[in-house]
Amino acid sequence: MILHPPRLDRRISGLNNRWRFPREPYLGDLLGLSQLSRATGVDIDNQLKIIDSYDNLKKKIQNDVTLDCMGFKWELHQPQLFHSGTLTKLYMFALSQKNTDPLKELEKFLRAESPKEQPKMSPVKKITISLKINDPLVTKTAFATALKSLYTNETEVHMEDVLGVLASANILQFPTLFKKCVSLMKDGISPCTIQTYYLAACKYKEELLITACEKWLEMNLVPLIGKQIYLRTVPQELLQKVLKSHRLFTFSEFDLLKTTLYWVYLQLNLRLQSIPIYEAVLAFFNSFPKKCPFLERELGQKFLPVFHCLRLHGITKSKDLEDIKYINFFPEAWMVRILANHYHALESGGDMFHAKDLSTQAIRFGLLINQENKIYSEMIGVYGFFFEIKGIKHGGSSYSFYMQRIKYSDTNIPTIIHERSTVSLRQERIVKYEIRAQSLVDGNWQEFSTNTLTQKFGLIKSTSKSHVSLYFQQ
C-alpha cells in the first residue's frame, strides 16, 4: 500500500480551533479533549481509555515490511502478508538472509495473534522484499487493488481493472481474490470482453472461466456478436470449439455460414470499424480470380478447419446455394458433394441417407424467446416437407415447445419458405429429431431436451403434431 502523509484539518472543540491529524482522536491534546467533553457531554475518562488503547494498537501494528515492486515501495504489515503465498515466501527468504530463523519469527507472530497469550515482544525489524513482475496485464492500479485486498474482503474491483487484478492475484498467489475476479468476469462476458477474458482464462488455466466463455459464445455467436464488429476479436481456436458444440444456437445452417464468412472477412479487413452489408462480403470473395477457390488459396488455407466444422449439407434453399457457388469460396469437391447429397435426397423422397448421426449431422433451426410475446413460431421446409416449430409461454416463467407438420397447401406458409421449393405429396414422413431449449437462470445456462425421438408425421391432426413436447420452468 502507498501511505500518503496525513493532512491537517481544523476541527472546532468548544471555543477553541486547533489543527489536528483527523484520524488521531485528540492524542496529546488534553485541553482540546476537555473542551470537547464539556461541549458534547462525552465522558473524558472513557476518551482517555480510548487514547491509551489507540497508542498500544499503534505500537503493535507497524509497517514492518516494505515491498519493492513496479517502481514503488509498498508499506505492508506482517499479519496481512501471510494471505499471499508469494509474499510469504519472499518474507521468509528475507528473514533467512538476515540470519533470522523464519520458523521462530512465524512462531512469534502466531503467539502475538493469540488472544490468550500476549508476551512482551521486542520490536520487529523492518524487512524489505522485492518482487519483479513481467506480466503485461498487471498495472500499478490493479496491483494496488490486490494489495489492498490483503487487508479487507470488501475491496471493490472495478471491471476496467479486473484483468489486471486477476493477474496480480495470480502472481501474489492470492486464491480468494483470484476467485473473486473470476466470478466478476463470468458475469461480465460481453461482445467487447469475450476475447480478453477467454485468453486470460487460457493463460491462467482457469477452466471455469474458459467454460463460461464457451457457453456464452454458443448462445450469442449468431444472434448477437455475429452482427457486431467485435466478431473479429473471437480467437479461431475458440470459434472452432463453439462451432463443434452440440449446444450452439443458430437460426439455420445458412445463418451460421454467413456468420463465419463475416468472421473471415473481418480477419482480412482489419481497418474496418463497422459491419458491412452481406452483399459487400459476397462481392469481396467474388473479387478473387476464379481459377482457384478461396479456401484453396494460400490466404484462405488457414481458415479451412473453421469450415470443416459447419454442416453445409443443411443448406437446402436454392437461393442460398447460388450464393455459395457465386463467391467461389469452397473447393469444387465440397460443392459436388453438397449438391449430390441434395439430389439423392430428393430422388429418395426426402430420405437423407448421407446423414447418420443426429448429434453431428442434424439440420438445426432455432428461434429466440423474449418476455414480450406468448407464442413463438418458425416455419421450415426440408426436401418438400414443411414443419412449424412452436413455443408457448405459460404464465410468468413456464414454456412448452413442439413441432408439427404443415400441409404444403396451407396458406400460412410464408412465400419465402415454399417459393422455388419442391413439394412432396407423401402422406407420411418418418422424422428423427430432438427439441432442445436453453435458458439463462440466475446467471447460469440451463439446458432442457426431449432427447432423440423418431416419429411418423402425417397430415391429419392426430399425427401431425410431435407426440412429445418439451416443457420447462425458469
SS3 readout for 197-224: HHHHHHHCCCHHHHHHHHHHHHHHCCCC
The reply to whether 86 and 171 lie within a common domain is yes
Query: Taking the model in full, what pTM does it have?
Result: 0.80
> Does 253 map to a domain?
yes
How confident is the model at residue 469, as a pLDDT? 83
Q: What is the distance between the alpha carbons of residues 277 and 275, in angstroms, rounded to a whole number? A: 7
Phi, psi of 402 (to 5 degrees): -155, 170
The reply to whether 139 and 235 lie within a common domain is: no
If asked whether residues 305 and 221 sit together in one domain, one would say: yes
Domain containing residue 132: CATH number: 3.30.710.10
The CA-CA-CA angle for residues 256, 262, 267, to 5°, reads 130
Torsion of CA 224, 225, 228, 234, to 10 degrees: 180
**pLDDT at position 452:** 92
pLDDT of the residue at 109 = 56
b/e 427-465 (16+ beta carbons within 10 angstroms → b):
eebebebbbbbbeeeeeeeeeeebeeeebebebeeebbb
List the one residue out of 58, 60, 61 whose CA is nearest residue 27. 58
b or e along 252-280 (b: 16 or more beta carbons within 10 Å of the residue's beta carbon)?
A: bbbbbbbbbbbbbbbeeeeeeeebeeeee
Neighbours of 474 (CB within 10 A): 11
All residue ranges of the chain with pLDDT < 50 are: 1-28, 30-31, 33, 50-51, 53-55, 57-61, 119, 121
Asked if residue 359 is part of any domain, the answer here is no
Sign of the C-alpha dihedral computed for residues 187, 190, 194 and 197 taken in this order: negative
Q: Give SS3 for 185.
A: helix
Per the domain annotation, does 129 fall within a domain?
yes
| CA distances (Å), origin 420, targets 201, 315, 316, 320, 411 | 48, 14, 11, 12, 16
258 is in which domain, residue-wise?
A: 205-348
Q: How many structural domains compose the chain?
A: 3
Q: Where are the beta strands (DSSP E) in 348-384?
A: 375-382
> How far is it, in rounded angstroms, from Cα 441 to Cα 405?
32
C-alpha cell at 35: 473542551
Separation of CA 69 from chain center = 31
Q: What are phi and psi of 84, to 5 degrees?
A: -110, 125
HSE, CB side, 13 Å, CA atoms: give it for residue 265. Answer: 30
Residues 389 and 428 in one domain: yes
pLDDT reported for residue 11: 46
Same domain, 176 and 301: no
Both 288 and 384 in one domain: the answer is no
Classify residue 14 by its DSSP letter: T
Report the distance separating Cα 61 and Cα 257, nearest Å: 64
Share in percent of the chain as helix, strand, coil (round to 5): 45, 15, 40
Contact 91, 79 (CB under 8 A): no
Supply the pLDDT for residue 50: 47
| 94 and 145 part of one domain | yes
Kindly state whether residues 379 and 429 are assigned to the same domain: yes
Write the pLDDT tens digit of every residue in 285-333.
999 998 999 999 999 999 999 999 999 999 998 889 999 999 999 999 9
225 and 339 co-located in one domain: yes
CB 387 within 8 A of CB 378: no
Residue type, 86: T
The answer to whether residue 187 is domain-embedded is: no
Would 357 be classed as within a structural domain? no
Given this model, what pLDDT does residue 10 score?
43
272: in domain = yes
Q: What is the pLDDT of residue 440?
A: 82
pLDDT of 347: 87
DSSP-assigned beta bridge partners for residue 75:
66
DSSP run (H or E) holding 44: helix 44-60
For residue 378, the cross-strand partners are 389
Domain assignment of residue 10, yes or no: no
Does any domain span residue 42? no
On whether both 230 and 176 belong to a single domain, the answer is: no
- The residues, ordered by sequence, that sit 6+ positions from 443 with a Cβ below 8 Å of its Cβ are 186, 187
Nearest Cα neighbor of 81 from 115, 131, 123 is 131
One domain for residues 406 and 342: no
Please state whether beta strands 65-69 and 127-130 pair in parallel, antiparallel, or not at all (unpaired).
parallel
DSSP helix/strand/coil, 157 = coil
Residue 14: which residues within 8 A CB-CB, separation 6 or more? 35, 36, 38, 39
Cell reading at 91: 518474507
Q: State how far the Cα of 252 lies from the Cα of 233, in Å rounded to an integer.
A: 23
What's the rounded Cα separation, in Å, for the pair 245 and 225? 17
175 and 222 assigned to the same domain: no
